[in-house]
Amino acid sequence: MICSSLPSSIGCSLSRLFVQELRGSLSNRSHPFRVSPKHKFTPKYIANSASVFFQRISNRKCRSWLIKDTTSRICCNQMKLENGLDDEACELVSGMEFSIGEGVDSVRAYLFRAVKNNNGTGILLLSDIFGFEDSSTRDFAYRVACNGYNVLVPDLFRGDPWPKGRSKAMFEEWLAKHNPERVARDISASTKWMVDEFVTAGISKKLGIIGFCYGGGRLIDVLAQDQGVYFGTGISFYGTRMNLTTASYVEVPVLFVSGDSDQLSPVSLLNDMERIIGRGSRVVIFEGRGHGFAHRPESPEEDKDAEKAFTIMRNWLSEGLAVSS
């Protein structure tokens, strides 16, 4: 099942639920999630008592979410997707915050898991500088999970993300506090957790990885280190601080998505990355778009292109990881 992000008219009926409804575009929506209490990691996250279940309609004209009731029946009309497939527009996703590891080496993370028609595939999502608790990042991760995936979003900044509104003059000072080696270790720990959960258990053949901005740049580092052992493909949204030499060690195809007005992720660099990595990699550039448009659009026009970018990413994941929906 695909939880479509494509706009269309749809009527939804939810029974015996406490439902809050939101109407509007992606650019002005509120975030449905409330962070659940922290949970120490225990083997196999499938402990529903520790999870909070959400239901959301991806469609703009009928977007709702389930607050607490995990047993209620959900009735949804069918919608016609552009590719001619009939799919339900509603999906259940579980969310759980927990810690990977212990002590000073522990990493907080949030896991989104498709409850209905889970394809068993794990996706590691690396956030932008605003961190793993940012509403735009979590909302995007939710939408990915809604397509049948298990999405893990680690806290790359150990509770110290870049505050919105802070002077850009302080950015390098802030970034210097986040040692690249420490960040790499946290990503490695998160990867190992996913390997143990999905790959070693025989649930998923390969993992996927998605990154925004800072995370999109670290995605290249991760894939170069992995050498195609655990990750089958990657999607870098306007990745920053990417190294061409490092890219030469990447052994899997990468989809690069950005805007032609994004000075932080120039088109020329992305084209070079595509050429160096090869293996069917692809660059998709949206005209007139700047940094962050795909996961935090700020206008109806950006919202429309964000939907297109999501669909391209969804198809790339499905083809690259050979999952069935």
- Which CATH number is 93-321 given? 3.40.50.1820
Q: How far apart are the C-alpha atoms of 194 and 107, rounded to whole Å?
A: 13
Structure tokens belonging to residue 321: 């990881």
Q: Crossing angle, helix 135-145 and helix 300-321, to 10 degrees? A: 40
- pLDDT the model gives residue 90: 41
- pLDDT the model gives residue 144: 96
DSSP secondary structure letter of residue 162: P
- pLDDT the model gives residue 28: 39
CB atoms within 10 A of CB 83: 11
Look up the pTM and report it: 0.75
Strands (E) in 37-179, as ranges, are: 39-40, 52-57, 63-66, 74-76, 78-80, 86-88, 90-100, 107-114, 122-126, 150-154
Domain layout of the chain by residue ranges:
93-321
Tally the residues of the chain: 325
**pLDDT, tens digit only, all 325 positions of the chain:** 333 333 332 233 232 222 222 223 333 333 333 333 333 333 333 333 333 333 333 333 222 332 223 322 222 222 233 343 334 434 589 999 999 999 999 999 999 999 988 999 999 999 999 999 999 999 999 999 999 999 999 999 999 999 998 999 999 999 999 999 999 999 999 999 999 999 877 777 899 999 999 999 999 999 999 999 999 999 999 999 999 999 999 999 999 999 999 999 999 999 999 999 999 999 999 999 999 999 999 899 999 999 999 999 999 999 999 754 4
Burial 198-222 (b: 16+ CB within 10 A, else e): bbeeeebebbbbbbbbbbbbbbbbb
Torsion of CA 215, 219, 221, 226, to 10 degrees: 140
CA distance readout (Å), 273 to 235, 242, 244: 13, 9, 6
Structure tokens belonging to residue 212: 């925004």
- Residue 175 host element (H or E): helix 171-176
